[in-house]
Amino acid sequence: MIQVFAFYLFATLCIFSGAVTILARNPVHSVLWLILAFFNAAGLMVLVGAEFIAMLLVIVYVGAVAVLFLFVVMMLDIDFAELRAGFVKNFPLGLALAAVLFVELFVGLIVRGAGSVALGKADGASAQAADASNIEAIGALLYSRYLFLFEAAGIVLLVAMIGAIVLTHRQRSDTRGQNISKQNARRPEEATVNLQPEVGKGVQI
């Protein structure tokens, strides 16, 4: 009973907030609705027993990616007139995209009606028995059967990260950075001098 209620709650909120993400005029509101959509999707994951994926969804997408979205979007200077002007220009493109998606959905429904692809049924028969926890099961798969793909994905991400750093890094010669170890290594003897100058005489530094 409670599962059904929770499912419909999460699913409705997820679809609703997904729709509002597109419909909201203000980009910041869009990002916040997107976060709500992520959150409800995580709730759905918990309901099907994929707690690890749910937590990763929240940590990675809500906790990091959406914060960066928000970071960028918050600094935008929103001009509503300009947004509407772009709407007319991009309308045909959007319409074409919608048509393609609709056709794909339609084809998908026909294929499903034909019943040719034998996917697992939702009766738990094809699912693994729940004697291992989520993390152990995923780990065992990732590090055995999908080891190559896993490591390849890691290398792709590493290269992307290095690429981003190389592209944005610049050496500035006009600013003086702080060298903390040098500061800490400095002793009073080399930084100060104790003099007792005579009256009327200056001090040579």
5-13, 70-78, 79-87, 194-202 -> range binding other proteins (CB under 8 A): 70-78
Query: Rounded to whole angstroms, how far apart are CA atoms 195 and 187?
Result: 18
What is the rounded CA–CA span in Å between residue 58 and residue 40?
10
Does 56 sit near other proteins (CB under 8 A)? yes
CA 125 to chain centre: 34
The tokens for 27 are: 């980009």
Cα angle 80-82-83, degrees, rounded to a multiple of 5: 65
Residue 59 CB, nearest approach to other proteins (Å):
5
Give the count of alpha carbons within 13 A of 190, CB side only.
6
Residue count at the site for other proteins (CB under 8 A)? Answer: 25
Does position 13 interact with other proteins (CB under 8 A)? The reply is no
Least distance in angstroms from the C-beta of 141 to other proteins: 17
Q: Pick the piece of the chain touching other proteins (CB under 8 A) from 54-62, 79-87, 168-176, 197-205.
A: 54-62
Cβ neighbours of residue 137 closer than 8 Å, sequence gap 6 or more:
128
Nearer to other proteins, 11 or 29 (CB): 29
Binding site for other proteins (CB under 8 A): 1-2, 28-29, 32, 35, 51-52, 55-56, 58-59, 62-64, 67-68, 70-71, 74, 133-135, 178, 180
